[in-house]
Amino acid sequence: EVQLVESGGGLIQPGGSLRLSCAASGFTVSSNYMSWVRQAPGKGLEWVSVIYSGGSTYYADSVKGRFTISRDNSENTLYLQMNSLRAEDTAVYYCAREVYGGNWFDPWGQGTLVTVSS
Amino acid sequence: DIQMTQSPSSLSASVGDRVTITCRASQSISNYLNWYQQKPGKAPKLLIYAASSWQSGVPSRFSGSGSGTDFTLTISSLQPEDFATYYCQQSYSTPRTFGQGTKVEIK
């Protein structure tokens, strides 16, 4: 079964750092485009970052310079290192695979909540 | 960046109604348009990809159409389990962008 499971969310103070993990099963992370998408409380979906199978990475302007996407091929896991966190980064963070050919998101993880507050 | 505009932002409908949600892209995206359903507290679920292709397991009452800049998601006969929020998303270019969502509520 193709599945993604996120972990690492929690309560963090403004300016702090957090690393999210997304463990994949049923497929190989390094052979796919993998994205992070977030959803602030009561709001819509916002794409955050992508790592291509070749290793190129891209970020939304709102997180550029603060967040870093990476993967561990041996662990088949995707990561999102989040630094200099702000209150507006508070959201549920989802990882998702982009399906080759059309780049739609499937599957999605269950999400992990990040709350940035003092 | 490509802007995606959905309408309406919310609607009230009854079981059995035909429901149509529209999504407009700020530039042509060919058929790189996908639709997701999200229920409260759950991750989004892929319904339609490449504008008009059904994801496996999605009921045939859901259909998608369009190309270029204008797209439509239609639910032919609304069922109780269809009350949710629906999002369109373009996968033509990076950054990937979503519409603001359409909340379908019970009348």
**A and B: number of Cβ contacts within 8 A:** 56
Cis peptide before B95 (omega within 30 of 0): yes
pLDDT at A21 exceeding the cut of 90: yes
pLDDT band at B5 (very low <50, low <70, confident <90, very high): very high
A104 and B50 within 8 Å at the Cβ level: the answer is: yes
How high is the mean pLDDT of chain B?
97
Question: Does the pLDDT at position B103 exceed 90?
Answer: yes
Residue A64: C-alpha distances to residues A33, A86, A91, A93 (Å): 18, 13, 17, 16
Residues of chain B found within 8 Å of residue A99, distances taken between Cβ atoms:
49
Integer CA distances (angstroms), A77 to A64, A114, B32, in order: 21, 19, 27
Interface of B with A in 23-82 (CB under 8 A): 32, 34, 36, 38, 43-46, 49-50, 55
Once rounded to an integer, what is the mean pLDDT over residues B17-32? 98
Question: Residue B46 pLDDT more than 90?
Answer: yes
Is residue B61 classed as helix, strand or coil in its secondary structure?
coil
